[in-house]
């Protein structure tokens, strides 16, 4: 692999203006256009570029080029049987670029949630131009129309659909700041576009309407409850498996292999409303002297920030939006303090909680549940 001198170029998203009727884009700052043109040139040279979306930072390459997409896998050290989501800048790209029709069941969902943090699974048509490296050999592929202005503008200017998993080293917490991307991928990619902190903080929700009943393959930025409210068949949506087997083929990222994990050991607590009680219980059962280790505590709805003997306490917030926005950054922040263990307060699995607990359960070395 080429050893790059990785550049970070900052863009103010307020300098990007979209005409929602024509999907044309204009800029109030020449520097913004200059950065996006540079990124577009790299993409057309089959290179990869990290860029912000409303969910997490993505590591993008042309969905139409197998050589380009292979560079994503190489930079992330990502298993090759893990499919990727393609990102578009208009719904028309599905028909015009991928030569694929949108099944009728998706239309009310897209009217409500696109552009936004929702990915849909589509059939691969005979004329579909998506790379087999993107689909990992499946007869389906996933597509998302991001809301983030920088992501949309980059796709629009390059006129390429972008395969873009999270821009982190494989297994590590997803990046919600450009600095997180640089920490993981410095020297492995040529360019990071810095658009500030991601608003949602967790990856997109992935749904499959090609099966009956439709299936939620990955919870994310759109809640299961919000999808069910759409009706038109979506009230019958069923949950897919949280984790796939070792030899099982998967249709969406995040169902296989270790994910979202910091270097420190993560202990996740369910149904404990008292942080001190939870941590002391764990320490006693594991014959652990808390004064002889360095640990952080990540709190959310109930735990008090004054946890006994904690070296670092990070508050995620009280609302579901705050918790999911700050989650991955908190895991990375804990690692930056070189702690041995991260004790995390779990949340209930309603609304945003389903996606939050999905990520935490995959990051955790151990889950302690109070019945």
- The annotation places the binding site for ATP at 78, 82, 140, 144, 166, 174, 218, 260
Q: In what order do the strands lie in the sheet with 295-299?
A: 312-315, 295-299, 341-345, 265-270, 366-369
C-alpha dihedral, 86 to 87 to 91 to 92, nearest 10°: -70
- Alpha helices (H) in the chain, listed in sequence order: 30-44, 66-76, 92-96, 107-113, 132-135, 149-158, 178-185, 224-228, 275-285, 320-336, 353-363
Q: Are strands 25-27 and 16-18 parallel, antiparallel or unpaired?
A: antiparallel
For the annotated binding site for L-threonine, the residues are: 55, 87, 164, 204
Binding-site residues from annotation: 55, 78, 82, 87, 140, 144, 164, 166, 174, 204, 218, 260
Partners of residue 140 on adjacent β-strands: 123
Measured distance CA(236)–CA(258) in Å, rounded: 30
Burial class (CB in 10 A: 0-12, 13-18, 19+), 262: buried
> What is the C-alpha to C-alpha distance for residues 50 and 59, in angstroms, rounded to an integer?
4
The closest of 293, 366, 296, 362 to 331, measured between CA atoms, is: 296
3-state secondary structure of 319: coil
Q: What is the DSSP letter of 236?
A: G
């Amino acid at each position: 692999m080429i050893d790059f001198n990785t550049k970070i170029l900052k863009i103010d998203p307020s300098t990007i203006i979209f005409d929602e009727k024509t999907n044309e884009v204009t800029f109030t700052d020449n520097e913004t256009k200059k950065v996006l043109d540079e990124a577009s040139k790299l993409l057309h040279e089959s290179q990869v570029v990290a860029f912000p979306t409303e969910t997490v930072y993505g590591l993008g390459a042309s969905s139409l080029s197998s050589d380009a997409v292979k560079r994503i896998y190489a930079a992330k050290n990502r298993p090759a049987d893990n499919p990727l989501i393609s990102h578009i800048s208009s719904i028309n790209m599905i028909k015009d670029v991928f030569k694929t029709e949108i099944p009728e069941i998706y239309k009310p969902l897209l009217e409500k949630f696109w552009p936004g943090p929702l990915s849909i699974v589509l059939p691969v048509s005979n004329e579909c131009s998506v790379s087999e490296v993107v689909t990992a050999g499946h007869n389906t592929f996933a597509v998302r129309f991001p809301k983030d202005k920088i992501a949309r503008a980059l796709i629009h200017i390059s006129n390429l659909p972008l395969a873009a998993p999270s821009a982190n080293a494989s297994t590590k917490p997803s990046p919600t700041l450009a600095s997180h991307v640089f920490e993981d991928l410095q020297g492995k990619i040529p360019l990071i576009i810095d658009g500030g902190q991601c608003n949602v903080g967790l990856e997109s929700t992935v749904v499959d309407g090609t099966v009956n009943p439709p299936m939620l393959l990955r919870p994310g930025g759109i809640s299961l409850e919000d999808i069910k409210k759409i009706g038109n068949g979506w009230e019958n949506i069923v949950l897919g498996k949280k984790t796939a087997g070792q030899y099982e083929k998967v249709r969406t990222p995040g169902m296989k292999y270790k994910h979202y994990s910091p270097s420190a050991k993560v202990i996740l607590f369910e149904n404990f409303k008292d942080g001190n009680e939870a941590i002391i219980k764990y320490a006693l059962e594991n014959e652990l002297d808390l004064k002889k280790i360095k640990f952080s505590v990540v709190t959310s709805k109930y735990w008090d920030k004054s946890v006994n003997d904690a070296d670092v306490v990070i508050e995620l917030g009280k609302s579901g939006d705050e918790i999911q926005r700050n989650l991955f950054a908190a895991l990375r922040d804990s690692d930056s303090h070189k702690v041995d263990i991260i004790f995390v307060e779990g949340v209930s699995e309603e609304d945003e909680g389903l996606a939050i607990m999905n990520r935490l359960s995959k990051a955790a070395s151990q889950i302690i549940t109070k019945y």
